[in-house]
Amino acid sequence: MLTFIISMRARALSQDWGYHTWLLERTLDSILAQTNPEFDVVVVCHDIPEIPQAKHAAVHMLKVDFPLPRRENSDMTVDKVLKISRGVEWAIARGSDYVMYVDADDLVSRHLSEFVATHPKETAGISIRGTSTATGTAGYANTRRITLSAARARSCARTCCTLPK
């Protein structure tokens, strides 16, 4: 099974909580559109957002209680890594075979869980090929193509990884 791990920014650090929760809703919608139902999603957060997707059986909100980071890149990076680590612990406890780290503003392919299910012996990263889109008030803008080799994908934060058994 594949577990998507999402690290959500704390409400106190968000300049616009409504916008951040809207981005999370879009991310969850893209994950919940998977063609294979063998997946879980864990959103690791200080504050649990009130969104409809939180009621979906595959979505789990994991609240953390460690101190909020300062508004500095180094502290925010540590916060994100700690949240991802908690998500990985959660996934291992649930018996997941793979994890994929996803930012709260990402859109993912609906074929990821299917790919993982049909490639059970894969232990390396998945080569990611897609489009990154920054959304502004005028709609979709700043679109660029992303292509990562399998070697690069292994070290990418959005890599699908095999969990140790």
47 has a pLDDT exceeding 70? yes
State how far the Cα of 73 lies from the Cα of 71, in Å rounded to an integer: 7
Q: Does pLDDT of 159 surpass 50?
A: no
Got the DSSP string for 29-83? Answer: HHHHT-SS--EEEEEEESS----GGGGSTTEEEEE--SPPPPSSHHHHHHHHHHH
pLDDT at 139 over 60: no
Considering only 41-45, 58-62, 146-150, which range has the smallest mean pLDDT? 146-150
pLDDT band at 129 (very low <50, low <70, confident <90, very high): very low
| Domains of the chain and CATH, by start | 2-162 (3.90.550.10)
Choice between 143 and 34, residue whose per-residue pLDDT is larger: 34
The identity of residue 3, as a single letter, is: T
Alpha carbons 74 and 2: distance in angstroms, whole number: 29
Q: Exposed, middle or buried by CB within 10 Å (0-12, 13-18, 19+), for 91?
A: buried
Q: Using an 8 Å Cβ cutoff, are 105 and 27 in contact?
A: yes
Q: Round the average pLDDT of the chain to a whole number and report it.
A: 77
The span from the CA of 39 to the CA of 58, in Å, is 7
Neighbours of 63 (CB within 10 A): 11
Q: In this structure, what token pair is assigned to residue 19? A: 């916008």
Q: Are 85 and 92 in contact (CB under 8 A)?
A: no
Residue 122 has pLDDT above 90, yes or no: no
Radius of gyration of the chain (CA): 15
Arithmetic mean of pLDDT, 23-46: 95
**49, two tokens:** 């957002």
Q: With cut-offs at 50, 70 and 90, classify the pLDDT of residue 16.
A: very high
Model pTM?
0.76
- Please tell me the least confidently modeled range out of 19-28, 40-49, 101-110, 122-131: 122-131
CA 110, chain centre distance (Å): 13
Check residues 90 and 129 and name the one with the higher pLDDT.
Answer: 90
